[in-house]
Amino acid sequence: MFVSEALEAIADRFHPRERIKAIRTLGSGNVNDTFLVTHSGLIQGDRDGAFVMQRLNTSVFERPDLVMRNLVALGNHMQQRMAAPPPELKGRRWEIPKVVPCRQDSHWIEHEGQFWRSISYIGAATTADVIRDGDHAREIGYGLGMFHTLISDLPADQLADTLENFHVTPSYLARYDSVVKHSAVPHDQLLREACEFVDARRSGVDVLEAALERHELSHRPIHGDPKINNVMIDDATGHAVGLIDLDTVKPGLVHYDIGDCLRSCCNRAGEEALDPSDAKFDLDLCESILSGYLSVARCFLNDWDLHYLPDCIRLIPFELGLRFLTDHLEGDVYFRCEQPGHNLRRAAVQFRLTESIEAQMPAIRTLVRSLTQASSKGG
């Protein structure tokens, strides 16, 4: 917990304390502590404003300076692109979270051993935790597609890899194998079934990384965590207006983002479902999201990118299930748990979702081909 005096002292490093009106907790994230700071203008006649102030969790982001470097590079590049915005943005609003510099002309501060930064606040827009309908789903896809489009020409080597091996599924499998080697033989039926599920799918975990090695796919800038509640929706129009939580921006495959977005949006039961059998992949939602995505992003995707779209849809839920299972075997050291067996149940939900996707793979491949052809014709 932070007392108001301490927060005011930190906020004063970004905006004069005497002009700060209020500081309140913002959101419910599990990684960073986030606050909304509202303030009056610096000079008479300036409009009131607001910014988001965050304490970065350095146990997750061990190099916060590199996180900030990525944010600045991303913001500068997007700002340049918006000087001549894509035609798909005509008549639409798009917001870029910008780094708010300190009053001492730095992009962050260290206060009592903690790392603090501020970014601009996107007003008149909110996020959601569940998909409302097909139009909402299409806007989620559009938002991710526009984000990818605006940074598609930012050289990936200009971004630091702040989370090495993030979404590299073979690395997670290697970690799992190392943990299993030192674990007791599973007697719990759910645990035994989860381990058998992993063993039956070993041959397909390197599909994206193998394509990367063959130069069929290439690294681009990615968001890293494009779940539904990281897409801002305009309160008035219902349009996607930007993506937030950009700490995970890094070089990677756009397939990681696409697969993770579909994973988080197309299972109406959610990853915290009490009954794993409730997890199902909603193909209609998938169609709406991919339709929105490709309506913007088709311009920079090549044939190989499109070829591997169905694979990422299947792979990313399996990967998250593998991570939950590994954490369960290690004693729940990474993901926050509410009760014993929580991570094991989460793993079972993701594996059930993977099974649902596998059962629909012919339909998913047909859908991707159909949407690709439609977007190529300008549909």
Task: Classify 4-121 by CATH class.
Answer: alpha beta
* Whole-number pLDDT of residue 105: 76
- Which CATH entry fits the domain spanning 134-376: 3.90.1200.10, 3.40.50.10320, 3.30.1330.180, 3.40.50.150? 3.90.1200.10
* Whole-number pLDDT of residue 28: 60
* Whole-number pLDDT of residue 240: 98
Residue ranges of the chain whose pLDDT lies below 70: 1-3, 28-31, 42-47, 377-379
DSSP β-bridge partners for residue 231? 243
Q: Is the dihedral of CA 355, 358, 364, 369 positive or negative?
A: positive
DSSP annotation of 1: -
The full DSSP string for 216-281 is SS--EEE-S---GGGEEEETTT--EEEE--GGG-EEE-HHHHHHHHHHHHS-TT-TT-SSGGG---
> Could you tell me the maximum CA-CA distance found in the chain, to the nearest angstrom?
71
Burial per residue of 254-283, b for 16 or more beta-carbon CB atoms within 10 angstroms, e otherwise: bbbbbbbbbbbbbbebebebeebeebbbbe
Cα–Cα–Cα angle for 183, 278, 341, rounded to 5 degrees: 25
Nearest to 302 by CA among 379, 365, 218: 218
Which amino acid would we find at residue 215? H
Nearest to 124 by CA among 227, 238, 28, 45: 238
Ordered by start, the domain boundaries in the chain are 4-121, 134-376
Residue 202 CA to residue 222 CA, distance in Å, equals: 26
* Whole-number pLDDT of residue 69: 94
* Whole-number pLDDT of residue 79: 93
In the chain, the percentage of residues whose pLDDT exceeds 70 is 96
pTM above 0.75, yes or no: yes
Pull the structure tokens for residue 206: 């390197």
Pull the structure tokens for residue 195: 């381990």
* Whole-number pLDDT of residue 72: 93
DSSP β-bridge partners for residue 24? 36
Tell me the per-residue pLDDT of 104-114, one tens digit each, with 9 for 90 and over: 878 899 888 88
